[in-house]
Amino acid sequence: MRIIVCVLLVCQTLIIYAWISDWRQLVTPAGLFMWVGGIAVGLAVLRAGRGLSPRWRRALKITTAGVILLAAMSLIIEWAVRSMP
């Protein structure tokens, strides 16, 4: 389980980095798959991984919450841009 959490943390950190540096990478099909998959797997691991140490659990919660926040912000930005005349 610890290896899955490490890979997931790297994946989510790369998503946050890509959103900050070059958001166009995330709107490709591969980027969207990685984004949604990272959120889904992160939530599944948090739900099923009760045996994780508190440190790993906290790190996973923070990165998953950050990726979810970025997704919500992206949807709000997209909505605002599309509603402009």
32-83 per-position pLDDT tens digit: 898 899 999 999 999 998 888 899 999 999 999 999 999 899 889 889 988 9
Q: Rounded distance, CA 33 to CA 39, Å? A: 10
Q: pLDDT value at position 26? A: 82
- Identify the burial level of 17 via C-beta atoms within 10 angstroms of its C-beta, where 0-12 means exposed, 13-18 middle and 19 or more buried: exposed
Residue 85 corresponds to which tokens in the numbers above?
Answer: 């005349």
Which residue, 58, 61, 79, 57, is CA-closest to 69?
61
pTM summary value: 0.84
Which residue, 14, 12, 58, is CA-closest to 39?
12
Identity of the residue numbered 54: P
